[in-house]
């Protein structure tokens, strides 16, 4: 496991490949943006992971591919309330899924 601190103050804790790219499991804390905790491939979020906003509210949990939500996941609003659960394609809610409002399924 490595600990890398960027000039901006952002920090990465985790595994890297022979090119020093994030690879395998790791946690990336970005100053004034949020935190990603999960799996990486060639420097991109890839596999299972979670992302929290800068206020530490969960925004997304699920599958990632090439840095974007892709596959099954759950998206949350800025207050951490579930707003969509289902399939994502290249970062967008697509396919089979459910939208939520006030913790109730709406469509």
* Residue 100: per-residue pLDDT: 84
Q: How confident is the model at residue 95 (pLDDT cuts 50, 70, 90)?
A: confident
Q: Check residue 81 and report its DSSP letter.
A: -
**How many H-runs (helices) and E-runs (strands) does the chain carry?**
0, 10
Based on the number of CB atoms within 10 Å of its own CB, is 38 exposed (0-12), middle (13-18) or buried (19 or more)?
A: buried
Q: Provide the CATH topology of domain 2-105.
A: 2.20.110
pLDDT per residue as tens digits for the range 15-68: 999 999 999 999 999 999 999 999 999 999 999 999 999 999 999 999 999 999
Report the DSSP beta bridge partners of residue 104.
Answer: 101
CA distances (Å), 91 to each of 13, 56, 65, 74, 88, in order?
24, 20, 9, 12, 6
């Amino acid at each position: 496991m490595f600990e890398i601190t960027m000039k901006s103050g952002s920090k990465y804790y985790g595994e890297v490949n022979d090119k020093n790219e994030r690879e395998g499991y790791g946690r990336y804390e970005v100053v004034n943006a949020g935190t990603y905790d999960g799996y990486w491939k060639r420097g991109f979020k890839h596999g299972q992971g979670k992302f929290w906003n800068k206020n530490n509210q969960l925004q997304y949990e699920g599958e990632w591919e090439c840095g974007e939500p892709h596959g099954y996941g759950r998206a949350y609003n800025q207050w951490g309330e579930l707003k969509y659960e289902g399939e994502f394609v290249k970062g967008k809610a697509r396919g089979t899924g459910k939208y939520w409002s006030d913790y109730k399924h709406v469509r």
